[in-house]
Structure 1
Amino acid sequence: MSTSYALADSATMLRRNLLHAKRYPSMLFGVILMPSILLLIFKFVFGGALEKSSGGNYIDYLAPGMLLMVPAYLTASVAVSIVTDSTKGIVNRFRTMGITQSAMLTGHVIGALLQAMLGIVVMSGVALLIGWRPNANVAEWIAAFGLLAFMSFALNWLAVALGLLSPNPEGASNAVFPIIMLPFLGSGLVSTDTMPVGLRQFAEYQLFTPITETIRGLLMGTEIGNSGYLALAWCAGIAIVGFFWSNSIFRRQTD
């Protein structure tokens, strides 16, 4: 099938995905606004103590790391949506319509990417309202949002694969739970220097830490070092693995 047909089918699946999000606003509320609520909790419940210990404005440290919560939370929505389609027979209906095999998966990924960027914009607005003061120029903002989009794209493909492997929506939400927890175990909330040795080593080498440090460096002017290269490598690796893994699973299930 030609590339033009594949693109057209993917666009159709994207519209379907966005219509589903519009019809079920409660799920959209959960995955987009919940990270912003967590931002408020960490700022106003824990921020006082952490700000005194750090000697600085905690929201300036916290906000860049919390932006990564949005793509992480959206993996649950992607995985659940994929397994719902797979278990309700909609895939077989699409096959009889001659739709490009990977179009359904691509529609979910791009739809979730658009929702993630909306959530990131919302969280950025909330953070600015409660005192976040980034000093980035236009190019640095574009680079930061580009990296966040790349990360969301990569995690969405991984979530698709995990959703396809899951027997039901409950299993899908459990499968992506480690992804949702990883931002809490990196440098997004506190410096890794304050952590016990074992946890600090894990936090320093897991994927969210270099991405967090890159976003923080772009928006707040802190040192990035080699975190930028590591962040791009993590995102590219996850995207490639997730894309080929999910398409391989999907082909086996639909043959």
Structure 2
Amino acid sequence: MSTVLPRPGAWSASLVFATRALLKLKHRPEQLIDVTIFPVIMTLMFTYLLGSTLAASPADYLQFLLPGVLVMSVVMITPNTGVGINVDVEKGLFDRIRTLAVWRPSALVGALLGDLVRYVLASTVILVVGLVLGFRPPGGVLGVLAGVVLVLVFAFAFSWIWTLAGLVLRTQKSVMSVSVLVLFPFTFLSNVFVEPKNPPAWLRMFMRFDPIAHLVTAVRGLMRGVWNGPEIGWTLLSAVLLLAVFGTLSMWRYNRR
């Protein structure tokens, strides 16, 4: 008598695909360059390039810079989610998943969960390098952990933008091109490197609605031991809106393919 195996739940199926995403890193370790070497280069380059100009010393500037670099480095590797999904679409993976008795969006959710591990690794690398260079957060371990968790929550929600891009756009190059157009203004026109004192009206208006700027302010405050409620709330609200809008569109597009 044949035994009918129970259908896996949504969570267990998503974890399977998350494990698949991590196994891809095992067989292609060069994909870890953007979460290991890239954060180190960013931290060293901007600390010593701008530190002597914008502060009394690179060590002083590092206290201001590192939370911003942490946010920027993690956010700038989120497009890899869309690239990976685009590759799976081209290879017909999602077509094969449709024939399985699993929760259909589990491949998308699993890919995002797997990328969370990459974000944690990038955050750890940046913090270790920062501590070696002299970063001493007044907020202590609790403030640092709270800041990292906030970055991870936002990055998970932000990744849904690239999930949709990976499903809609035809090539990996297109996904990366769109990501550059979106990420560069939102990161380099924020307060990652310097706190604008008298920005022009258009930049002030842009920063008012720039979720990256609010995230940087919130994380910088947490690592200083200041729990800035409005900035944290604005960041969480942005994450919820991104997840609601782009998560819904991604699911709709995935089910329509």
TM-score normalized by structure 1?
0.90
Amino acid at match of 2:40: S
Q: Is it true that 1:108 corresponds to 2:111 in the alignment? A: yes
CA distance in 2, matches of 1:12, 1:215: 32
CA distance in 1, matches of 2:25, 2:104: 22
Q: Is the 8 A contact 2:21 2:114 kept in 1?
A: yes
Q: What CA deviation, in whole Å up to 9, does each residue of 1:7-59 have, x standing for no partner?
A: 2211111111001122222222124431331111101112211114x999111
Q: Is it true that 1:139 corresponds to 2:139 in the alignment? A: no
Question: Structure 2 stretches of 5 or more lacking a match?
Answer: 1-5
Q: Is it true that 1:83 corresponds to 2:86 in the alignment? A: yes
Amino acid at match of 1:240: A
Amino acid at match of 1:215: V
Q: What CA deviation, in whole Å up to 9, does each residue of 1:184-206 have, x standing for no partner?
A: 21111110225443223312320
CA distance in 2, matches of 1:4, 1:57: 52
- 3-state secondary structure, aligned to 1:101: coil
Among 66, 73, 77, the residue aligned to 2:69: 66
Q: Is it true that 1:176 corresponds to 2:211 in the alignment? A: no
Within a 5 Å distance, the mapping from 1:1-255 to structure 2 comes to 4-52=8-56, 57-181=60-184, 182-193=186-197, 195-221=199-225, 224=228, 226-253=230-257
The Cα shift of 1:5 comes to 2.1
Q: Is the 8 A contact 2:21 2:110 kept in 1?
A: yes
- 3-state secondary structure, aligned to 1:118: helix
- 3-state secondary structure, aligned to 1:191: coil
Question: Structure 1 stretches of 5 or more lacking a match?
Answer: none
CA distance in 1, matches of 2:151, 2:139: 15
Relative to structure 1, the CA distance from residue 115 to residue 247 in structure 2 (aligned partners, 3 Å threshold; closer, same or farther) is same
Relative to structure 1, the CA distance from residue 199 to residue 90 in structure 2 (aligned partners, 3 Å threshold; closer, same or farther) is same
Count of matched residue pairs: 251
